[in-house]
Amino acid sequence: MTEAEFDFHSPLSRWDTHSAKWDLLAAPLGRKTLALSVADMEFRTAPAVIEAVETAAKLGSYGYTEVFDDFRQSAANWQHRRHGWTPDPHDCVFFPRIVQCVAALVHLIIPHRTGRPARVVTLTPAYHPFLEVCEYAGASIESVELLDTTSKARIDFEALESAMTRADLFLFTHPHNPSGRVWSQKELEKISAIARAHDILILSDDIHADFTRSNGVPYLPLARISPDLWQEGRILHCTSPSKTFTIAGLEASAIFARGQIIDELEKAKRQLGLHNPNYFAIPAAIAAWNYSDQWVDALQDRIDTNIRATRDLLATELPEAHVTDPEGTYLLWVDARPYAPTAAHLEQACRSSRVLVTPGQEFGTNFEGFFRINTAMPLDPLLQAVRHFSRALIRVRNGRIHASF
């Protein structure tokens, strides 16, 4: 099916739904706010997912559920069909959220193995909730800053190898949030070589893997590139339908792993008090992975159109800014320092325009004056929001509006 056969155009209001993006973060700016911040989509999910949730709801009894082989098989089939590798369904561990898997590693598994707090390496800019759980665990965190994040982000492999000599765990995001890089086979091979040399465990967060651009860099799972590390249990491949199908609130993730770490993850889940999944999580995930390929194909076309249109608009409205041309994700990473040298400038522009973006400092202290835009929404309000925000940012730079609201 084509994009025209699915509805990616109708407005969707999520006000008064207990939404984190709208009812919490956007609410202080008023009900006319347009939110381009949190990375969930402003589209209705795939028809098969809606049907599965509605069918489950009609039962009228919402007791405890469990994870069975149909979930694991659906997750494995999706990896085979969409991403060209074939994990064993029995190597799949359910977690509600990938960040909880990170918590299991740094709070429990690595300290139990080593007798000391975990030592973690990551690339910045970075998804902050991962680092937050590491901080709460008392883990040491060594950040390796990516180079040229708003042109084509590059890994400083010399710095990465130096950091890895002191690490237990590498938190790796593929495709990368927020830069949108889809790491190449050569880059994945270099990461694998460093991991081999220093006996590193890699958590590969591939939650955005279903979002690659047309005629762009192909997404390749690290486990497929480095089967030896996979077989040795040194790669955790983390996936979820939550981003692709805008069902993050249902909380279902599939962690693929090999060997003893599977038992360690299952034990750690119990220690963290994670037992039965959300009543709607399993039927929604199965419907997403089994019956929604055509919807995802159409969604990718819509995201590609949105990204191109937003980049063109930003080139006109903020010609001095540097904007990524992402190979993956539905996110744009913008270096707006010529307009917003401080976080206060961005905040003023958000308040004036009633448009919420994600400020760069949420991804690392060195990214003040950057911001991230979520393009996964109907095109007309997306461009309206970007236009309003861009013009407010110019007014802030020129001193024509101030912090009061």
Ramachandran angles phi, psi of 172, nearest 5°: -120, 135
Q: Is the pLDDT of residue 359 over 70?
A: yes
Q: Is the pLDDT of residue 268 over 60?
A: yes
Residue 107 is predicted with a pLDDT of 98
Same domain as 119, residue 90: yes
CA dihedral 368, 333, 127, 23 (to 10 degrees): 90
Q: Is the pLDDT of residue 197 over 70?
A: yes
Same domain as 249, residue 221: yes
Q: Which range marks the domain in which residue 309 is found?
A: 3-45+293-397
Residue 50 is predicted with a pLDDT of 98
- The residue from 262, 291, 320 where one domain ends is 291
pLDDT digits (tens, 9 = 90+) for 65-91: 999 999 999 999 999 999 999 999 999
Alpha-carbon span 214 to 196, nearest angstrom: 33
- Please give the mean pLDDT across all residues of the chain: 95
Task: Give residues with Cβ within 8 angstroms of 207, minimum separation 6.
Answer: 98, 238, 239, 240, 242, 243, 253
Residue 18 covered by a domain: yes
Residue 405 covered by a domain: no
Residue 216 is predicted with a pLDDT of 82
Same domain as 60, residue 140: yes
Task: Give residues with Cβ within 8 angstroms of 291, minimum separation 6.
Answer: 46, 48
CATH number, position 390: 3.90.1150.10
Same domain as 136, residue 11: no
**Nearest by Cα to 236 from 267, 201, 199, 192:** 201
Report the Cα–Cα distance between both ends of the chain, in Å, rounded: 46
- The residue from 241, 275, 291 where one domain ends is 291
Instruction: Output the six-digit token pair for 363.
Output: 């991804």
pLDDT band of 403, cuts 50, 70, 90: very low
Give me the residue label for tokens 């690595």.
110
Average pLDDT over residues 183-189: 97
- The residue from 257, 291, 325 where one domain ends is 291
Residue 371 covered by a domain: yes
- CA atoms within 13 A of residue 272's CA, in its CB half-sphere: 24
Residue 320 covered by a domain: yes
pLDDT digits (tens, 9 = 90+) for 105-145: 999 999 999 999 999 999 999 999 999 999 999 999 999 99
pLDDT digits (tens, 9 = 90+) for 206-231: 999 999 998 788 999 999 999 999 99
Q: Is the pLDDT of residue 250 over 90?
A: yes
The residue ranges of DSSP E strands in 225-353, in sequence order, are 235-239, 253-256, 322-323, 331-335
Q: Per-residue b/e over 47-71, b at no fewer than 16 CB within 10 Å?
A: ebbeebbeebeeeeeeeeeebeeeb
pLDDT band of 404, cuts 50, 70, 90: very low
Average pLDDT over residues 152-160: 96
Same domain as 104, residue 244: yes
Same domain as 299, residue 284: no
The one-letter amino acid code at 46 reads A
Same domain as 209, residue 68: yes
Residue 4 is predicted with a pLDDT of 66
Q: Are 46 and 335 in contact (CB under 8 A)?
A: no
